[in-house]
Structure 1
Amino acid sequence: MTRRVLRGFNAQAFSQARQHKGLSVSDLSRMAGVSDAAIWKWEAGTATPLIDLLARVMRILDAPIEQVITIPADERYPGDWRAIRGISQPELAATAKIPTTTLKGIERGDRNLSDANADKLADLLGISVEEYRAAYQRARERPAGTSV
């Protein structure tokens, strides 16, 4: 499970999604099996959720993850597409039948992206191979110090 900050997480949009559903933090916490302290921190913008927890919460809110991860499609890295689909690195790697370290390297742009992996990963994420390759190229060309 990744422990990095979830890139593009919009705390205000998350809070609005919860309020739109008419759920208190306490009720959402109980229904999702996530601590109410975690949800308060997400809404305050002092912490970001792990993707598996966010996916669970967004299912309860009956809202797409893309509503709260607000990165334009033409600015997304491969890991952003995965997060928007609510899939952790280990889950995607296992489904794609590649090592998690390979997926991590691809998402960071540190490892070459083979045609076979591009086809598999794009298909699993429900995007075109061209979109996945463009996201990969953005990751490779990102400025030094920029997180993916």
Structure 2
Amino acid sequence: MTRRDPDPGRAAVSRSVGRGFDPDRLRRERLAEEGTLRHAAGLPEIEIADLARLTGVSPTAIYNWESRLRAPHATLLKAVADELNVPMDVLVVVAPEKRTLADLRWLAGMFQTGVATQLGITTQTYGRIERGNRAIGKDLAIALAKLYDVEVDVIDAAWQRAHRRPAGAKA
């Protein structure tokens, strides 16, 4: 179920869970294990309860993500990643050359509704663009690049991947 304004304390799962979420990386970063960004930065382990308190995400949700019982909404995972001081692409692993617009949106921690609102278009229109069913246009590509903090070429390539996907394949 996709919600426009998720309750940050709930273990919400969207209809389309972002691909590449790695629960093991979340746990390792939270624990600041050797080889993680937090460990390299000298940051301490953070308990689930403290992470929940600091992010407004329930401790049950975080536990469920780490235990592979539930998958997080991008917005909630983004709050956790920000508090852990790690970029989303540490927790969501999709090779850059395989990323779609949906992946880029997920890495930005956003819902389609939020992206569409910021672009001044409908959610349905943005969904068609994200699936490669509607041309993106130069102005929207530039706006998306700014929103997702990537180069316009990355946006164009991500759109092309969705547009050229085989029939029946998810975008």
TM-score normalised over the length of structure 2: 0.79
**Structure 2: runs of 5+ lacking an equivalent:** 4-13, 33-43
Superposed CA offset, 1:81-128 (max 9, x none): 121122222222211112111111111112222222222212222222
Structure showing the higher helix proportion among its residues? 1
* CA displacement at 1:40 relative to structure 2: 1.4
User: Structure 2 vs 1, CA of residues 77 and 24 (structure 1 numbering), >3 Å: closer, same or farther?
Assistant: same
Larger radius of gyration: 2
Aligned to 2:95: 72
Q: TM-score, normalised by structure 1?
A: 0.90
How many corresponding residue pairs? 148
- The one-letter amino acid paired with 2:24 is Q
| Equivalent runs, 1:1-148 vs 2, <5 Å | 1=2, 3=14, 4-20=16-32, 21-148=44-171
Q: Which segments of 5 or more consecutive residues in structure 1 lack a partner in the other structure?
A: none
> Counterpart amino acid of 1:120?
A
- Counterpart CA distance in 1 for 2:72 and 2:168 is 22
- Considering only aligned residues, what root-mean-square deviation do their CA atoms show, in Å? 1.7
Corresponding residue SS for 1:22 = coil
SS in 2 for 1:138: helix
Percent of residue pairs bearing the same amino acid type: 33
Give the Cα separation in 2 of the matches to 1:41 and 1:144: 34
The code of the aligned residue for 1:123 comes to K
Runs of 4+ in structure 1 deviating by more than 4 angstroms, as ranges, are none
